[in-house]
Chain A
Amino acid sequence: MKSLKGKGTPALLRNDSTSALLTELVAHLRQNRTQLREEWARRITESQLLTAMTKEEIFVEATSVYDNYVAVLETGSVEALQAYARDLSERIIPRGVETHEVVGIVLLLRDVLARSLFKKYQSDFALLNRVLDAYEPAANRIANTVAVGFVQERERIIRQQQEAIRELSTPVLQVRERLLILPIIGVIDPQRARQLTEQLLRGIRSNRAKVVVIDITGVPAVDATVANHLVQTVDASRLMGATVIVTGLSAEIAQTLVTIGVDLSKMKTIGDLQGGIEEAERLLGYKVILEAVETPPAMKRPAV
């Protein structure tokens, strides 16, 4: 009902009175800056938020958040605050500050300021109501802005890292003329499997590869899905005329695959990467000869 009454007043008049109240509010907050800020910092420590930061750091951040907060109340523009929130998130995310902490401190500030307003206007209930009408929406918007800024920054970092991992994870290397190796490290998910395969196929064409050794020593778990991806990669390479040798199937993985009944019989598998490369060399017609059998005396000579 109260809000209905508020709507009843002409918009222009209400806006005017709102901005006048906000000006008064800002003046009040500026006046009591030191005291309110300290109160806030104390409450932050009390609630054990921002434990990753020292007291001094909390105080410094609290000061700038406070000033930004008051500035937003004054100007009604959240752009500066958005930039600040982004910047703050950039600094504190690497230190392990959680979302609930950031939202928590903004809500605490909101609480501290509201209490101070209650105190100031406790004698005039109608005025307090109007002050809160002006204060609450602005405060909510601020809390929203900071929280959204923090979450967006986190998501940006996550995206960035995903990209970095993706780029790092799939080198296709040529070890001999027409022989490629593809060492896979880490978990294979459908997206990565797809990317791996595409990269390998492109590598086969650009290097005119005849034999490819895929080493999965670094793959922590191979289940039916991963095995299927491997089979697809092998089939696709075969269509391009390349032979694929899969190496690095550990004893445990081999057992799991047999137990769950994955059929890898169409695939050429060899125990380790060395064996795989040797087999590949044999297929390509290379013969590697160990020449310097007399190395021990040669190695002794410089020492004398």
Chain B
Amino acid sequence: MRVPILKQGHYLIASIQSALTDADLLQLRDDLAEMAGKYRSRGIIVDVTALDVMDSFAVRTLRAIAHILRMRGARTVIVGIQPDVAFAMVQMGLTLGDTQTALDLEEGLDLLERGRDPRE
């Protein structure tokens, strides 16, 4: 299933609705890269609230999305990682590197608005 991407001002919001195949993930990556250029977006939010599993491929792709979009001049925030998913990820040693994360969509937008991560 293709992930719907919404445009909201200067930001793009990709809201994942169900479990994704590897092909879906790659499609999402390409779509985001494409749309970020088209709409000259400054920030991207990927909402993973609906995911209750994140494998290494998903994590790697999310990281790749963040890197690609940074080169296109946009910041990426991953929002909505569930507690169980977060715990499983650190146990498997999967990290998002320096990709920013936020609790939910609202927080993610707030983070982009303020333009600065307090962690930095």
Contacts of B103 in A (CB 8 A): 204-205, 208-210, 240-242
Tally A-B pairs: CB < 8 A.
63
Q: Which residues of B contact A201 (CB under 8 A)?
A: 83-84, 86-87
Q: Contact between A236 and B119 (Cβ–Cβ < 8 Å)?
A: no
Interface residues in B45-71 (C-beta closer than 8 Å to A): none
Contact partners of A63 in chain B: CB under 8 A: none
Kindly identify which residue among B78, B86, B104, B108 contacts A236, using a CB–CB cutoff of 8 Å.
Answer: B86
Closest beta carbon of chain A to B96's beta carbon, Å: 7
Given A204-B83, A205-B83, A235 and B101 touching (CB < 8 A)?
A: no
A205 to B104, CA, bound (A): 9
Residue of B nearest to A206 (CB): B83
A2 to B28, CA, bound (A): 84
Collect the chain A residues with CB atoms within 8 Å of residue B79's CB: 241
How close is A263's CB to chain B, nearest CB, in angstroms?
14
Provided the pairs A236-B89, A283-B118 are in contact, do residues A241 and B101 lie with their beta carbons within 8 angstroms?
Answer: yes
Q: Is A19 an interface residue (CB 8 A)?
A: no
Q: How far is the CA of A243 from the CA of B100 in the complex (A)?
A: 11
Task: Determine the residue in chain A with the shortest Cβ distance to B89.
Answer: A239
Contact between chains at B101 and A236 (CB < 8 Å) = no
Chain B neighbourhood of A204, CB < 8 A:
83, 103
B34 contacts chain A at the CB level, 8 A cutoff = no
Whole-angstrom distance between the alpha carbons of A240 and B78 in the complex?
9
Q: Is B33 located at the chain interface by the 8 A CB criterion?
A: no
Closest Cβ neighbor of B101 among chain A residues: A241
Q: Is the contact region of chain A dominated by helix, strand, or loop, or is it mixed?
A: helix
A116: Cβ under 8 A from any B Cβ: no
Q: How far is the CA of A233 from the CA of B83 in the complex (A)?
A: 11
B59 to A, closest residue via Cβ: A239
Alpha-carbon separation in the docked complex, A281 to B65 (Å):
32
Bound complex: CA A199 to CA B83 (Å): 9
CA distance A238 to B79 in the complex (A): 11
Contact string against A for B residues 98-120, beta-carbon threshold 8 Å, 1 for contact and 0 otherwise: 00011110011001000000110
* Contact call B119/A240, Cβ cutoff below 8 A: no
The answer on a CB contact under 8 Å between A239 and B91 is: no
- In Å, the complex CA distance between A236 and B91 comes to 9
Chain A residue nearest to B54 (CB atoms) is A239
What residues of B have a CB within 8 angstroms of the CB of A45 in the complex? none
Q: Are A198 and B118 in contact (CB under 8 A)?
A: no
Residues of B within 8 A of A240 (CB): 81, 83, 86, 101, 103
User: Which residues of the partner chain B approach A238 to less than 8 Å between Cβ atoms?
Assistant: 101, 119
B95 interface residue (CB < 8 Å to A):
yes
Task: Please give, as numbers and ranges, the residues of chain A lying within 8 Å of B82 by CB-CB distance.
Answer: 205
**In the complex, A242→B82 CA distance in Å?**
13
Question: Which of chain A's residues has its CB closest to B119's CB?
Answer: A243
Interface residues of A in 209-241 (CB under 8 A from B): 209-210, 232-233, 235-241
Instruction: Spell out A's residues near B (CB within 8 Å).
Output: 194, 197-198, 201-202, 204-205, 208-210, 232-233, 235-243, 268, 283
Sample (25) of A-B pairs whose CB atoms are under 8 Å apart:
A194-B87, A198-B87, A201-B83, A202-B83, A204-B103, A205-B83, A205-B103, A209-B103, A232-B90, A233-B90, A235-B90, A237-B86, A239-B85, A239-B86, A239-B90, A240-B81, A240-B83, A240-B101, A240-B103, A241-B101, A241-B104, A241-B108, A241-B111, A242-B103, A283-B118
B residues with CB within 8 A of A: 78-79, 81-87, 89-91, 95-96, 101-104, 107-108, 111, 118-119
Going nearest first, the 8 A-B pairs with the smallest beta carbon separation are A201-B83, A241-B102, A239-B86, A236-B86, A241-B103, A232-B90, A235-B90, A236-B90
